[in-house]
Amino acid sequence: MKKKITLAVFVTFALACATIAQAGGLHLRSHAALILDAEHGRILFSKNPDNIVPIASITKLMTAIVVLDAKLPLKEGVVIEQADVDVIKNTRSRLRVGTRLSRYDLLRLALMSSENRAAAALGRAYPGGINAFVEAMNNKAFELGMGNSYFVDSTGLNRKNVSTARDLAKLVEAAEDYDLIRQFSTTAAHAVEFKEERSLKFVNSNRLVRSSSWEIGVSKTGFLREAGRCLVMQAKISGKPIIIVLLDSAGKNTRIGDANRVKKWMETGFTRKVRG
């Protein structure tokens, strides 16, 4: 009985937060969303926060955490192999089979520009291979309390990589503790030098990191047909650390529009209204 009461109170609180948010003028078009005051652990807004949905390349945040937790040598070279080529969605990549990059560079490309072959190579080059890597991903999810999340690969190309907005807020909060994740996920652009004396410029898949009006600490985008357009961020808005999770945005620019709506909503005094 105690457990049922606790759950009922929790659900009521979440719904109340959502109601307050809507009353405050925040209307998001993403199918699922969660806005969290990271400093106090307070949910400011939620919309379908517990719907289990595909998360596409948001998966790469967990990939980065597992790689860094393993303390693998970041300067070690990893060769892109045929096994890293996407045969699920047939996405393209500028990393040719046979290319050798450091684990450091692969991590940067996976986080910054959502490079699928980079993320695939990171999982494959893990001690024990991709199966051991996926097991480590799911173990980390359990450790973080992400009870409605499940991973099957290191890229997010498989629609069976699933989570909820509530769980992903925990993932973003955990990712913020890693210096390299903060640095790489918010790098606006980076040129990679190859041995063939060629250079390729990669840009961040989240254009908001290039905006002077945003102060972003962690960022990751994702897209699959089954997942829609997704975006998670940790950002300071009006000096407050806020975690933003936006999932299954239908339009190409909807997730960016929703993020800007959240920012404007915070800046126009929502916090004061709730306190009052």
SS3 readout for the chain:
CHHHHHHHHHHHHHHHHHHHHHHCCCCCCCCEEEEEECCCCEEEEEECCCCCEECHHHHHHHHHHHHHHCCCCCCCEEECCHHHCCCCCCCCCCCCCCCEEEHHHHHHHHHHCCCHHHHHHHHHCCCCHHHHHHHHHHHHHHHCCCCCCECCCCCCCCCCCEECHHHHHHHHHHHCCCHHHHHHHCCCEEEEEECCCEEEEEECCCHHHHCCCCEEEEEEEEEECCCEEEEEEEEEECCEEEEEEEEEECCCCHHHHHHHHHHHHHHCCHHHHHHC
CA dihedral for 121, 122, 128, 133, sign (positive or negative): negative
* Model pTM above 0.85: yes
CA angle, 263 then 265 then 270, to 5°: 125
Strand partners, 1: none
CATH superfamily name and code, 2-275: DD-peptidase/beta-lactamase superfamily (3.40.710.10)
Residue 96 has pLDDT above 90, yes or no: yes
Amino acid at 150: Y
Residue 65 has pLDDT above 70, yes or no: yes
- Under the banding of pLDDT at 50, 70 and 90, the label for residue 197 is low
Q: How many CA atoms lie less than 13 Å away from 20 in the CB half-sphere?
A: 19
Told to judge if 114 belongs to the known catalytic residues of this protein, a careful annotator would answer yes
- Under the banding of pLDDT at 50, 70 and 90, the label for residue 84 is very high
Q: Give me the pLDDT at residue 276, please.
A: 30
- Under the banding of pLDDT at 50, 70 and 90, the label for residue 23 is very low
Strand partners, 233: 219, 244
Among the options 114, 149, 185, 205, which is catalytic?
A: 114
Q: What is the pLDDT of residues 229-242, one digit of tens each?
A: 999 999 999 999 99
Told to judge if 113 belongs to the known catalytic residues of this protein, a careful annotator would answer no
Q: How many CA atoms lie less than 13 Å away from 267 in the CB half-sphere?
A: 11
Among the options 30, 46, 57, 249, which is catalytic?
A: 57
Among the options 47, 60, 140, 263, which is catalytic?
A: 60
Per-domain residue ranges of the chain: 2-275
